[in-house]
């Protein structure tokens, strides 16, 4: 292969790779696939602005490529110095005014969209969201519910998030439901999301926040009306403590090893005052994921987790960030999972 063709091949290969990775059949966090009115509002702004940007890109890059080809050096004998141009008033005024006009026009729908998506909706479900290294707490102050990683909402009704952080800066993002909102310690940032249809909408912390930033996921579970009422009712009814068998054994072990940090409503409510904020496990077994929503809620995964939490998910338990390895025996792990499975 002639050496001069290599850059072209490299370019074509890179383009093909980018094209291929840009397409995914299963893309649960596709911001270009809005699933609610807020995401749709943002999308309606994004699309025209994108095409304006494409037009600018094609014009500017086209002019650069045209100039590079048209005025290139034509062989070793081409030593003539091109005509030297200094200043062109008409051109300079033109390329100052035209971009300013484009930006001014784009600013009108941009500002309108920003104001619409930031406005507090009528009759929302209010949820206090707290980002923690490395999971999400969702508290429903009007319903007296605290849960983790799975944000349950009614479909077709706006949800008003009051977002803060317990430690460093995180950022809440459920791409199909709206844009991003930072979770900043000491501040409360409000944000509205809404899903048109019942379903599960994945999300992710989108501000780098340390070791397990990539493991700080979430899922928004949107219910139909009956499902929403049923979820609220179930969550407000704490599970009964087990009275016999392995689950009872696990219940006692939970008191010994876990209850200083993890609350279970109606069973273990006295976490130590200086314990790190930890997921409320009251209805753990009803969730589909745990540990920042990176593992499926299965017996196998729960056991693997209890065997060595920092080995399953990078954390720094010595700094109070995340769950330590408690050195549990297999029998203890079995009993604990028996108990956790009763938390319906
Ligand atoms: Cu939390 Cu990244």
Q: Are residues 63 and 145 in the same domain?
A: no
302 in a domain, yes or no? Answer: yes
Is 259 within the bounds of a domain?
A: yes
Counting the structural domains of the chain, the total is 3
Residue 208 CA: which ligand 1 atom is closest? 2
Examine residue 63 and state whether it is found in any structural domain, yes or no: yes
Compute, in angstroms, the gap from residue 293 CA to the centroid of ligand 1.
13
Q: How confident is the model at residue 6 (pLDDT cuts 50, 70, 90)?
A: confident
15 or 148, which is more confident? Answer: 148
180 and 99 inside one domain: no
Instruction: Quote the domain boundaries for residue 49.
Output: 31-73+86-119
Same domain, 137 and 205: yes
Q: Tell me which residue has its CA closest to atom 1 in ligand 1.
A: 170
Distance from residue 291's CA to the centre of ligand 1 (Å):
13
Q: Does 229 fall in a domain?
A: no
Pocket of ligand 1 (CB under 6 A): 131, 134, 170, 205, 207-209, 213, 216
Whether residue 150 lies inside any domain: the answer is yes
Same domain for 262 and 205, yes or no, is no
Q: Average pLDDT of the chain?
A: 93
Task: Give pLDDT, residue 78.
Answer: 86
Instruction: Report how far ligand 1's centroid is from the alpha carbon of 149 (Å).
Output: 13
d(CA 65, CA 69): 6
Cα-to-centroid distance, 265 and ligand 1 (Å):
27
What is the number of the ligand 1 atom nearest to the C-alpha of 183? 1
Nearest atom of ligand 1 to the alpha carbon of 207:
2
Q: Which residues contact 72 (CB under 8 A, 6 or more apart)?
A: none
- Are 291 and 324 within one domain? yes
Residue 79 lies in a domain: no
Distance 218 CA to ligand 1 centre (A): 11
DSSP state of 190: E
Q: How many CB atoms lie within 10 A of CB 48?
A: 12
The C-alpha angle 20, 25, 27, rounded to 5 degrees, equals 100
Which atom of ligand 1 lies closest to the CA of 134? 1
| Digit-coded pLDDT (tens) for 156-197 | 999 999 999 999 999 999 999 999 999 999 999 999 999 999
pLDDT of residue 85: 86
Q: Please check whether residues 115 and 130 belong to one and the same domain.
A: no
Per-residue pLDDT of 233-278, as tens digits, reads 999 999 999 999 999 999 999 999 999 999 999 999 999 998 999 9
Same domain membership, residue 200 and residue 129 = yes
Cis peptide upstream of residue 134 (ω within 30 degrees of 0): yes
Residue 1, pLDDT > 60, answer no
Report pLDDT for 243. Answer: 93
- Of 224, 253, 283, the last residue of a domain is 224
d(CA 105, CA 86): 31
pLDDT confidence of residue 93: 95
CA 121, CA 300: separation in Å to the nearest integer? 42
Share of the chain above pLDDT 70, in %: 98
pLDDT band for position 319 (50/70/90)?
confident
- pLDDT tens digits, residue range 14-34? 888 887 777 777 788 998 999
- Kindly state whether residue 9 falls inside one of the protein's structural domains: no
The last residue of a domain, from among 164, 192, 224: 224
Establish if 112 belongs to a structural domain. Answer: yes
- CA of 159 from ligand 1 middle (Å) equals 22
Both 136 and 189 in a single domain?
yes
Does one domain contain both 212 and 251?
Answer: no
Cα–Cα separations (whole angstroms), residue 307 to 248, 301, 331, 333, 339: 20, 10, 11, 7, 16
Q: Which tokens in the block code for residue 180? A: 């991003």
Q: Which of 168, 192, 224 is the last residue of a domain?
A: 224
Domain at 214, CATH number? 2.60.40.420
215 with 279, same domain? no
Q: What is the DSSP letter of 112?
A: H
CA of 206 to the centre of ligand 1 (A): 6
Indicate whether 196 and 274 sit together in one domain. Answer: no
What CATH number does residue 111 fall under? 1.10.287.90
288 and 317, same domain (yes or no): yes
From the CA of 170, give the closest atom in ligand 1. 1
pTM: 0.88
């Amino acid at each position: 292969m002639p050496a001069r063709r290599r850059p072209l091949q490299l370019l074509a290969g890179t383009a093909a790779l980018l094209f291929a990775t840009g397409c995914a059949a299963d893309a649960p966090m596709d911001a270009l696939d809005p699933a609610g009115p807020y995401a749709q509002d943002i999308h309606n702004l994004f699309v025209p602005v994108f095409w304006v940007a494409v037009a600018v890109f094609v014009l500017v890059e086209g002019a650069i490529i045209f100039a590079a080809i048209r005025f290139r050096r034509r062989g070793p004998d081409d030593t003539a110095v091109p005509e030297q141009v200094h200043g062109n008033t008409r051109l300079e005024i033109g390329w100052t005014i035209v971009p300013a006009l484009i930006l001014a026009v784009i600013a009108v729908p941009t500002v309108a969209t920003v104001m619409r998506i930031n406005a507090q909706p009528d009759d929302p479900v209010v949820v206090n969201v707290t980002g923690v290294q490395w999971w999400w707490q969702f508290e429903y102050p009007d319903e007296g519910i605290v849960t983790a990683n799975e944000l349950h909402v009614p479909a077709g009704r706006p949800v008003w998030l009051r977002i803060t952080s317990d430690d460093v800066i995180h950022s809440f993002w459920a791409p199909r439901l709206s844009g991003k909102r930072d979770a900043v310690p000491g501040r409360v940032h409000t944000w509205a999301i809404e899903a048109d249809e019942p379903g599960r909408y994945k999300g992710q912390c989108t501000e780098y926040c340390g070791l397990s930033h990539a493991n700080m996921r979430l899922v928004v579970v949107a219910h139909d009306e009956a499902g929403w009422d049923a979820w609220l009712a179930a969550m407000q009814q704490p599970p009964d403590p087990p009275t016999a068998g392995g689950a009872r054994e696990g219940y006692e072990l939970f008191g010994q090893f876990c209850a200083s940090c993890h609350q279970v409503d109606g069973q273990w409510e006295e976490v130590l005052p200086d314990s790190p904020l930890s997921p409320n496990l009251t209805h753990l077994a009803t969730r589909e994921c745990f540990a920042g929503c990176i593992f499926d809620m299965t017996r196998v995964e729960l056991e693997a987790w209890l065997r060595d939490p920092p080995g399953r998910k990078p954390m720094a338990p010595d700094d109070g960030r995340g769950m330590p390895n408690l050195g549990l025996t297999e029998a203890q792990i079995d009993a604990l999972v028996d108990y956790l499975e009763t938390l319906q």
